[in-house]
Chain A
Amino acid sequence: MSEPRPAAQAAEAHDEEAHPIANPQLAAVLAWVVPGAGHIYLGRRSRGIAYLLLVAASLFIGLGLHGRLWTPVPGEPLSVLATLGSMGMGAAYFVLRYAVGYSGDILATGFEYGSAFVLTAGLMNMLLVLDAWDIARGKKE
Chain B
Amino acid sequence: MKKELTIFDNPKNIRRIHMVFFAALVLVLVAEAFVDMHGEFHMESFYGFYAVYGFISYVSLIVIAKLLRKILMRKEDYYDD
Q: Do A and B come from the same complex?
A: no
